[in-house]
Chain A
Amino acid sequence: MSDSVAPPKETFRLSMLLYDSRYRGITIQFVVLVLVLLALGWLARNAAVNLAALGKPLRFDFLGDTASYDINQRLIEYTSTDSHGRAVLVGLLNTLLVAFMGCAAATILGVIGGVLRLSSNWLVSRLVALYVEIFRNVPVLLWIFVCMFTLTAIAPAPRAFRGDTPEASMLLWDSMAVTNRGIYIPEPLFSRPLGDLNLGVFNVSIELIVLLAVLAGSLFAMKWNNARANRIQTETGDRPNTMWMNIAIVIIPFLLVLIALGFHIGKPELKGFNFKGGINMSAPLIGLWLGLTLYTTTYIIEAVRSGIQAVSKGQSEAAFALGLRPGRTMSLVILPQALRVIIPQLISQYLNLTKNSSLAVAIGYMDLVSTLGGVTLNQTGREMEAILMLMAIYLTISLTISGTMNWYNNRVKLVER
């Protein structure tokens, strides 16, 4: 005989789907899924019906058609007889170019600004604060317009450089020209070129590959050199000086390759009504770059400032007590901790800058939106395909950037218990 009562037999009843919290979740999810699928299906069906009524089935073969429009700012070969697909690729590379230039410039300016913002000099820190408040409370599109207009209105026309007594002169020993059509900078040339490597879609100059390979090799050798110094240090206690050797490892092979390839600089020269030679950065590129940089810099300044302020004072005091000099305190104690606060904010600013680069369409820089979502869309009339592709490409870029940055962020993250 026993007191215990057998547990009630578990039987599943239909009402448990509503009233038993173990099963209710399934019901809710099922209902939500059905509703979402119904809504998506409704939208897709409408799109199919409307597109069929217009005789425009969802097809991407327009990418193979001849584009027949010109893009003057481009990183790879392109003529108006090329396909829309290639024009889109040119636009994508232009987007990546301005995003990269903007991120690099904004990071440099932002770090300098962030340090100056915390400067003990009242005038300087207030000026930086003023800059931040002015630039980030005004739409970035307005700044892009202002930068674009400033360049085209203030910079001299190419013809001002002509004549015996020109109104305008070139900068930096006649190697750089700032005109209202863009900025001309010197280009690297090789008198003994190795030719181009055809990657199927576009060509990459072999000189660039060789130089990058040499640099990578040097960095590898540098790593080996540092490892050797570490080994000697653990064995004997004395660390051999690695600086000069490292500098030599990086610079000498690089210089040797440059000399072997016959490196020289091609300066832009005035021929006829415009500059020839050199690299031309068109006015819209410069305007967009400046506008995005000036705007994003303000956010990076704030990120750097908050990061440095987040490191408690005791950290630097402890470092001083250990006898570290101010420079080493900054690089070994404060920065590694501040970076943990700064990097997530930097990632989101890089993403914002990349997405804001789509405003290129407002000033005629041929980026992804101007090519795929602009001229190509208008010429082919393929709104649905073009805009969906546009969103998919941007989504891929964003996810790639955030994925890479998060991977890096996880590496430098503080490992807690």
Chain B
Amino acid sequence: MSDLSYVRTEMLPQKAPPATSVGVVGWLRENLFSSVGNSALTVVTGALLLMLLSAILPWVFLGIWDAESLADCRAQFAEMYADGRTYACWAVIADRWDQIMFGYSFGNLNEGLYWRPLLGLALILVALSPILYPNVPRIMYVATAATLFLYPWLIWGGSIWGPLTLAMCIIGGIVAFRFASQVMITAFALPVAIVVTAVLIMVVMGPLSNGLASVAALELQPVPSREVSGFVLSITIGIVAIVASLPIAIMLALGRQSDLFIVNKLSTGFIEIIRGVPLITLIFVATVLMKYFLPSHIDLDPVVAVMILVTLFTAAYIAEVIRGGLAALPKGQYEAADALGLTYWQAQRLIILPQALKISIPGIVSNFISVFKDTTLVSIVALNDPLGISGAIRSNSDWNGIVWELYGFIALVFWIFCFSMSRYSLWLERQLQTGHR
């Protein structure tokens, strides 16, 4: 009997999982064909996707890059394909690349000025590096400050002494603020500094820059604002709005959170009015009404007027994001700052704002993305952003009737900018994640 019994003494080796649940097959079964309904969904979607791709991909990749005009493109296609198939005519992009990117100012009219917007963009990238990446040396902030004054000079031209003396006046204002804040509270030192800056700009700046210019001209060929166009215009409006709106937005958000009744109501009213109207009406205000609101002897440039209004628009939206950040901070933070005996502005600068701004970063970046997309609205008031330029290209007899290629290309450029901004925001959010909120 005993020799018939069998007792297993060692463990069986683990069996490999069935071939249908690992590897490619397993992944397919789990993610695409887990049930009948799912399989049907996969098949239908896949078929639709294939149809779409088989229509779009050949059109994109079999396109012609070398042609004189749309008619030329069509002739080439007729020569190549007997059955009358046509694909994209990318030659329009190759032909009008300069115009779309740099607009008229640096393109057709003034050959050889491309280095100015290109250098400007390079400067912006350098200037952004300390803001974008936390581990770039702090000394780079000097480049950021310099770019604020050099970029407009590169775009609009003229004498370099204008921006430089403006920078000096602002430095004068900052010095005045330092001195004033030692003898009085910040709420009063701030207006004093602003008045000092304004006086310096109005009284000292003109004569000083003229005098310096007569010693050494250092001039770039001026470019009229109307001719700043193409993606250079979009990027310029976008950057100005982004940079200038942040401080305004912070003031508005603090104002809206303030206990002071009048300050609170004024900030709230401003934010709600700006957020309640479409951007296009504000752009109309800039181009049509601005001249009424200023004394008749001031001739405000339309592009500058648009920039001011777009900045105010962005500021109102970002103010709401920052207010959300301020409201999300635990009350203990405010109370701790009070307990340490910090004044209002010290508490804001050292304790409240660093945390509130950190929470608000995703919202702020998504507003930056929208303002960059919204710069296309200036084409409605006949400023030549890429969409305006595309209309101009189509009205040329060479490229009359071309649409998809132009829109596709412009969309692609916008997409690259906006997509990378949103990815950057996600990355930064992870970087700043300190495990608590």
- In the complex where A50-B291, A133-B419, A355-B277 touch, is A138 in contact with B31 (Cβ < 8 A)? no
Residues of A within 8 A of B281 (CB): 358, 369, 373, 387, 390-391, 394
Query: Contact between A142 and B277 (Cβ–Cβ < 8 Å)?
Result: no
Query: Contact between B32 and A123 (Cβ–Cβ < 8 Å)?
Result: yes
Query: Contact between A387 and B285 (Cβ–Cβ < 8 Å)?
Result: yes
Query: Contact between B273 and A141 (Cβ–Cβ < 8 Å)?
Result: no
Query: Contact between A394 and B277 (Cβ–Cβ < 8 Å)?
Result: yes
Residues of A within 8 A of B42 (CB): 121, 123-124
Question: Nearest-CB distance from A30 to chain B (Å)?
Answer: 8
Query: Contact between A29 and B263 (Cβ–Cβ < 8 Å)?
Result: yes
- In the complex where A356-B278, A390-B281 touch, is A137 in contact with B418 (Cβ < 8 A)? yes
A32 to B269, CA, bound (A): 14
Within 8 A of B (CB), among A38-71: 43, 46-47, 49-51, 53
Q: Is A197 interfacial (CB-CB < 8 Å)?
A: no
Question: Nearest-CB distance from A380 to chain B (Å)?
Answer: 13
Residues of A within 8 A of B31 (CB): 120-123
Residues of B within 8 A of A104 (CB): none
A119 to B59, CA, bound (A): 31
Q: Is A200 interfacial (CB-CB < 8 Å)?
A: no
Query: Contact between B292 and A383 (Cβ–Cβ < 8 Å)?
Result: yes
Q: Which of B184, B276, B295 contacts A399 (CB 8 A)?
A: B276
Q: Is A260 interfacial (CB-CB < 8 Å)?
A: no
Q: Is B237 interfacial (CB-CB < 8 Å)?
A: no
Query: Contact between A384 and B289 (Cβ–Cβ < 8 Å)?
Result: yes
- In the complex where A29-B261, A383-B288 touch, is A124 in contact with B374 (Cβ < 8 A)? no
Q: Which of B262, B294, B415, B419 contacts A46 (CB 8 A)?
A: B294
Q: Is A257 interfacial (CB-CB < 8 Å)?
A: no
0/1 string, A365-408, CB within 8 A of B gives 1: 00001000100010000011001001100110011000000000
Query: Contact between B273 and A395 (Cβ–Cβ < 8 Å)?
Result: yes
A240 to B260, CA, bound (A): 59
- In the complex where A43-B293, A137-B422, A142-B411 touch, is A29 in contact with B277 (Cβ < 8 A)? no
Residues of A within 8 A of B296 (CB): 49-50, 53
Question: Nearest-CB distance from B35 to chain A (Å)?
Answer: 9
Question: Nearest-CB distance from B184 to chain A (Å)?
Answer: 8
Q: Is B224 interfacial (CB-CB < 8 Å)?
A: no
Interface pick from A80-88, A145-153, A161-169, A175-183? A145-153
A359 to B376, CA, bound (A): 11
Query: Contact between B260 and A140 (Cβ–Cβ < 8 Å)?
Result: no
A153 to B403, CA, bound (A): 10
Query: Contact between A28 and B373 (Cβ–Cβ < 8 Å)?
Result: no
Q: Is B266 interfacial (CB-CB < 8 Å)?
A: yes
Interface size on A, residues (CB 8 A): 55
Query: Contact between B276 and A394 (Cβ–Cβ < 8 Å)?
Result: yes
Residues of A within 8 A of B273 (CB): 391, 395
Residues of A within 8 A of B380 (CB): 359, 361-362
Question: Nearest-CB distance from A176 to chain B (Å)?
Answer: 23
Q: Which of B260, B284, B415, B418 contacts A373 (CB 8 A)?
A: B284
Q: Is B392 interfacial (CB-CB < 8 Å)?
A: no
A43 to B273, CA, bound (A): 17
Query: Contact between A122 and B32 (Cβ–Cβ < 8 Å)?
Result: yes
A47 to B34, CA, bound (A): 69
0/1 string, B268-307, CB within 8 A of A gives 1: 0000110111111100110011011111100000000000
Q: Which of A29, A127, A391, A395 contacts B262 (CB 8 A)?
A: A29
Q: Is A232 interfacial (CB-CB < 8 Å)?
A: no
Q: Is B346 interfacial (CB-CB < 8 Å)?
A: no
Residues of A within 8 A of B407 (CB): 142, 145-146, 149
Query: Contact between B285 and A32 (Cβ–Cβ < 8 Å)?
Result: no
Query: Contact between B415 and A395 (Cβ–Cβ < 8 Å)?
Result: no
Within 8 A of A (CB), among B393-414: 403, 407, 410-411, 414
Q: Which of A29, A33, A138 contacts B414 (CB 8 A)?
A: A138
Q: Is B222 interfacial (CB-CB < 8 Å)?
A: no
Q: Is B221 interfacial (CB-CB < 8 Å)?
A: no
A53 to B276, CA, bound (A): 32
Most chain B C-beta atoms within 10 Å of own C-beta, residue among A139, A145, A153, A361: A139
Residue of B nearest to A53 (CB): B296
Residue of A nearest to B48 (CB): A127
Q: Which of B263, B377, B414 contacts A32 (CB 8 A)?
A: B263
A60 to B38, CA, bound (A): 62
Q: Which of B187, B278, B418 contacts A355 (CB 8 A)?
A: B278
Residue of B nearest to A383 (CB): B288
Question: Nearest-CB distance from A171 to chain B (Å)?
Answer: 20
Query: Contact between A149 and B280 (Cβ–Cβ < 8 Å)?
Result: no
Residues of B within 8 A of A193 (CB): none
Q: Is B387 interfacial (CB-CB < 8 Å)?
A: yes
- In the complex where A137-B369, A138-B373, A142-B414 touch, is A359 in contact with B46 (Cβ < 8 A)? no
Q: Is B191 interfacial (CB-CB < 8 Å)?
A: yes
Query: Contact between B278 and A139 (Cβ–Cβ < 8 Å)?
Result: no
Q: Is B379 interfacial (CB-CB < 8 Å)?
A: yes
Q: Is B41 interfacial (CB-CB < 8 Å)?
A: yes
Q: Is B45 interfacial (CB-CB < 8 Å)?
A: yes
Question: Nearest-CB distance from B315 to chain A (Å)?
Answer: 16
Query: Contact between B289 and A145 (Cβ–Cβ < 8 Å)?
Result: no
Q: Is A36 interfacial (CB-CB < 8 Å)?
A: yes
Q: Is A219 interfacial (CB-CB < 8 Å)?
A: no
Q: Is A252 interfacial (CB-CB < 8 Å)?
A: no
Q: Which of A36, A141, A358, A369 contacts B387 (CB 8 A)?
A: A141
Q: Which of B263, B288, B293, B387 contacts A28 (CB 8 A)?
A: B263
Q: Which of A50, A153, A398 contacts B275 (CB 8 A)?
A: A398
A391 to B45, CA, bound (A): 44
A310 to B41, CA, bound (A): 26
Residue of B nearest to A137 (CB): B418
Within 8 A of B (CB), among A13-38: 18, 24-25, 28-29, 31-33, 35-36
Most chain B C-beta atoms within 10 Å of own C-beta, residue among A138, A362, A390: A138
Q: Which of A46, A359, A377 contacts B293 (CB 8 A)?
A: A46
Question: Nearest-CB distance from B59 to chain A (Å)?
Answer: 14
- In the complex where A139-B414, A384-B292 touch, is A25 in contact with B403 (Cβ < 8 A)? no
Q: Is A248 interfacial (CB-CB < 8 Å)?
A: no
Within 8 A of A (CB), among B340-381: 369, 373-374, 376-377, 379-380
Q: Is A112 interfacial (CB-CB < 8 Å)?
A: no
Residues of A within 8 A of B373 (CB): 137-140
Residues of A within 8 A of B403 (CB): 149, 153
A149 to B275, CA, bound (A): 30
For this complex, 15 residue pairs linking A to B, each with C-beta atoms less than 8 Å apart, are A24-B185, A31-B191, A47-B292, A49-B295, A123-B45, A123-B49, A137-B422, A138-B418, A139-B374, A142-B376, A142-B414, A355-B277, A355-B279, A358-B280, A358-B281
Give me the 10 closest cross-chain CB pairs, A-B, nearest first. Answer: A137-B418, A122-B31, A398-B276, A355-B278, A358-B278, A139-B373, A395-B276, A29-B262, A139-B376, A138-B411
Beyond the given pairs A25-B260, A141-B379, A153-B403, 4 more chain A to chain B contacts, judged by CB atoms under 8 angstroms and listed by A's residue number, are A124-B45, A137-B418, A137-B422, A140-B373
